[in-house]
Amino acid sequence: MTEPMLSVRNLHVSFPTRQGVFEAVRGVSFDLGRERLGVVGESGSGKSMTGRAILGLVRPPGQVRADRMDLGGQSILNLPERGMRKIRGSRISMVMQDPKFSLNPVMTIGDQIIEAYRLHAGGGKAAARKKALEMLKAVQIRDPERVMDAYPHEVSGGMGQRIMIAMMLAPDPEILIADEPTSALDVSVRTEVLNIMDRLVRDRGMGLIFISHDLNLVAQFCDRVLIMYAGRVVETLAAQDLHNARHPYTQGLLNSLPRLDAPVDRLPVLQRQENWRSDPLIDQGLETELPKGV
Amino acid sequence: MLNVENLDVWFGFPPDRVDAVKQVSFTVAQGESFGLVGESGSGKSTILRAIAGLIDSWSGRVDVAGQAVHGSHRDRAFYKTVQMVFQDPYASLHPRHSVDAVLHEALKLQGMDNIDRRINQLLDDVGLGRGFRFRYPHQLSGGQRQRVAIARALAGNPRLLLLDEPTSALDVSVQAEILNLLTDLRREHGLTYVMVSHDLAVVGHMCDRLAVMQHGQIVEVMEVDALRRGAGQQDYTRHLIRASAGYERA
Amino acid sequence: MSDTSSKPQSRRDWLLTDAPLTRHQARLGAFYQGWLTFRANKLAMLGLIILILLIGMAIFAPWLAPQSPFAQNLAGRLQPPSPEHWLGTDALGRDIMSRLIYGSRITLFIVGTVALIAPVIGLFIGTVAGFAGGWVDQVLMRITDIFLAFPKLILALAFVAALGPGIGNAVLALALTGWPPYARLARAETLTIRNADFIAAARLQGAGRMRLLIRHIWPLCISSLIVRVALDMAGIILSAAGLGFLGLGAQPPMPEWGAMISDGRIYILDFWWVAAMPGLAIFIVSLAFNLLGDGLRDVLDPKGAKQ
């Protein structure tokens, strides 16, 4: 088995509140290889917070603890901001849900990509511009010259998200964390954006953490899925096995989705059980085992 | 119940005028559940807002329960007949008004008596229970807020509910609860629904007929069975159904 | 329901519960939440304590003041601070501490009245302009602009000059010149609220414009106005003192703090305490209002609170 690119053991993220300490993430462990790893859960399950913790983006007073958080064998747990900044962008990148809030509205798109690239790779302006054009082409943007000179408000949501991906990919990161990257997009644009990310994983051997609330999408797009509930991973599955999930929470989530091919009068409602918060996990091994053939 | 003919809705003035809805016509029968689907910017929510009188820049003909409506003025009878549930339950409740205050105001404006008893009744109807009566929105989850919004809409015993993506801001398990609630309420109160959604599966679950919209126009009106079979008359409909089914690796 | 109330509950739990059982409990609970947030801000608490002391001082002035604020003693004029006159005496031999204590009444009167009138005018004009839009908005905002175009103190001076000097007219002048910033603020808030879904929902219930304005828009504008007023209090005190200093506010022998500084300015080099003591009083009270305003912002306006 190859060395995992990212290895996380027993990750905790907690926030002190007036009512006591709130634990957003409670002991999450996983390994990431050159694969598409889906992280699924409902709001408040801690899925986004897990992504932020890896990048050191949990703001104080939030606290991050873990037994281990290694990137290529090197610990990145609670690195000082300066060290984290080196990793962020150049080795791990993040794509957020809404491109509108992640792009600077008063800079042209080209300038932003060039800046992002030079910040990490250095080099001359001309070389960076060439790289930026290349990246825009890589995310299937026709007429990249024109887009380079456009401002963020002049492009559509789908294009904005592709530009974000282009920007994040400019410094050639090893790992991309995508937090609900397609939730704000229309279905027809969604497929394009997913195709681009898919190709990047395949062609560049990138590791992808795909955080989403959409079970079906994750099942279709990812290789492996972690299902999170109340700050813990309750089940880990190979994506093609999702519909044979064993944890009642996963089953309940799947059942509560309306389906065009199986009309029902009333949808089954998820009955939450208190013991899901603390019971031992299903398939402890799969949590860290990398998929075959990687 | 609802008849819309040649509806045009626009925003702004020439030369910046944007035509959000173009020549839309459809009819919804009493007791029917009608869906409007389309991608963002297709004008589906705009139609609801124009019907509700929240937009005044429209032309065409809108009849609600046999009465034509005009501009953005609506009379008391209209508000008693038609109510709306909004997409974002975080934005549709006043942050400083408790559940009690919200329902109290709605009932009073609808000219109801026995307000105290009716508030409890409404809370029971939407499955919240009386323990929620004096909470403020920040003490409620998204699904609970949406239930309050539905209770408010039901205050005047309306006959037509305009549902603007009522579950798109909610988790899927909560979505199932709200959709079930809407199904039950429709049956119990004999309501007519016009539901806007980008989610074909939700519309397929809730509606009898639906209109597929693109660029402010209705591409086609279809029965829900045709939607389930994936049998659209138009290319765009088939494309939309395929894309909604999920991701196929290229 | 009954088994929750049968359990013994501390008063704190009762207040902080997520499921209040009565309107009364819900309101008290919301209030208590705010108080806890406020209390966590130590400096704001300091401000509050100072202001409570100030109010106490104003109420109990006759008992606290060692002497009459008007009693002259020309033999003992311009005495430095001493055990007999803790803060010294002024040019007419009056006890400065007594004058400061009585002066707190005037200060509170000015601040209180201005703080009641100006934001109310501003709230009304701003929300009506923002909510009505169109020509109403244009007219009201241009009037606001005209007021804003003049320096505040100059405008107040003009008012006082026209109305005649005196503490009442000074207050009126300050109130009439103080509202435009509040109107601007209230209008900006209204514009963000106006198109909210909850306003649309209330309209669909048949709520009229007045009801929307008063019941839905005002409650959301008031909190940011309160914060702004608390932060502006220092400015109001200083403006009132400025008018007093120029001789257009309180008239002698009233112990208004600004007028006291004005009286002391001739002696400032040789008898510093005559001007410095009222100056210090203005400084402390202004600071207290600022601290209070900061604390109120944490409670009422979570957007503006620093993380």
Task: Suggest the residue from A267, A270, A273 to mutate for an interface test with chain B (most B CBs closer than 10 A).
Answer: A267
Mean pLDDT check: name the lowest of A27-36, A153-162, C59-68: A153-162
With CB atoms and an 8 Å threshold, state whether C204 touches B84.
Answer: yes
pLDDT grade for A2, boundaries at 50, 70 and 90: low
Question: Does residue B250 sit within a domain?
Answer: no
Q: Which helix (H) or strand (E) holds B77?
A: helix B76-81
Measured between beta carbons, which residues in chain B are less than 8 angstroms from residue A221?
247, 249
CATH superfamily, with its number, for domain C45-300 = MetI-like (1.10.3720.10)
- Phi-psi category of A46—alpha, beta or left, where left has phi over 0 and alpha has psi -120 to 50? left
The sheet that has A175-179: what strands, in order across it? A92-95, A175-179, A207-212, A36-40, A224-229, A232-238
pLDDT beyond 80 at B140: yes
pLDDT beyond 70 at A185: yes
Which among B83, B94, B131 has CB closest to C19? Answer: B131
Q: Looking at chain B, which runs of residues are DSSP E strands?
A: 2-11, 18-28, 33-38, 58-64, 67-69, 82-85, 160-164, 192-197, 209-214, 217-223
Measured between beta carbons, which residues in chain B are less than 8 angstroms from residue A197?
none
C-alpha separations of B107 from B120, B146, B158, B192, B243 in Å = 12, 18, 12, 21, 43
Measured between beta carbons, which residues in chain B are less than 8 angstroms from residue C216?
94
pLDDT beyond 60 at C6: no
| pLDDT top residue among A3 and C219 | C219
C246 vs C240: CA distance, rounded Å: 10
Q: Which among A11, A43, A36, A287 has a CA at the least distance from the CA of A178?
A: A36
Please say whether the dihedral angle defined by the alpha carbons of residues B106, B112, B117 and B118, taken in this order, is positive or negative. negative
With CB atoms and an 8 Å threshold, state whether B176 touches A191.
Answer: no
Task: Give the per-residue SS3 of chain C.
Answer: CHHHHHCCCCHHHHHHCCCCCCHHHHHHHHHHHHHHHHHCCHHHHHHHHHHHHHHHHHHCHHHHCCCCCCCCCHHHCCCCCCCCCCCCECCCCCEHHHHHHHHHHHHHHHHHHHHHHHHHHHHHHHHHHHHHCHHHHHHHHHHHHHHHHCCHHHHHHHHHHHHCCCHHHHHHHHHHHHHHHHHHHHHHHHHHHHCCHHHHHHHHCCCCHHHHHHHHHHHHHHHHHHHHHHHHHHHHHHHHHHHHHCCCCCCCCCCCHHHHHHHHHHHCCCCCHHHHHHHHHHHHHHHHHHHHHHHHHHHHCCCCCCC
Residue indicated by tokens 């074909």: B200
Domain count, chain B: 1
CA of C306, closest CA in chain B: separation in Å? 20
Per-residue pLDDT, C2: 40
Measured between beta carbons, which residues in chain B are less than 8 angstroms from residue A98?
none
CATH for A1-91+176-183+205-294 is 3.40.50.300
B189 vs B159: CA distance, rounded Å: 8
* Radius of gyration over every alpha carbon of chain B, rounded to an integer in angstroms: 18
Per-residue pLDDT, A78: 79
Calculate the CA dihedral of residues B188, B192, B197, B200 and round it to 10 degrees: 80
Measured between beta carbons, which residues in chain B are less than 8 angstroms from residue C201?
84, 86, 92, 149, 152-153
Q: Which helix (H) or strand (E) holds A22?
A: strand A20-32
Judge whether B246 is closer than 8 Å to chain A, CB to CB.
yes
pLDDT grade for A282, boundaries at 50, 70 and 90: low
Domain boundaries, chain A: 1-91+176-183+205-294, 99-172
Share of chain C above pLDDT 90, in %: 27
Domain boundaries, chain C: 1-40, 45-300
Please say whether the dihedral angle defined by the alpha carbons of residues A273, A279, A283 and A284, taken in this order, is positive or negative. positive
| CATH code, domain with B170 | 3.40.50.300
Mean pLDDT check: name the lowest of B92-106, B191-205, C74-88: C74-88
Say which amino acid occupies B70. Answer: H
What chain C residue is nearest to B52 in terms of C-alpha separation?
C204
pLDDT grade for C191, boundaries at 50, 70 and 90: very high
pLDDT beyond 90 at C40: no
- Residues ≥6 apart with Cβ < 8 Å to C297: C227, C231, C304, C305
B95 vs C15: CA distance, rounded Å: 19
Q: Are strands A232-238 and A224-229 parallel, antiparallel or unpaired?
A: antiparallel
ipTM: 0.90
Tens of pLDDT, residue by residue over C95-113, are 889 999 998 998 888 888 9
Tens of pLDDT, residue by residue over B22-59, are 999 999 999 999 999 988 878 899 999 999 999 989 99
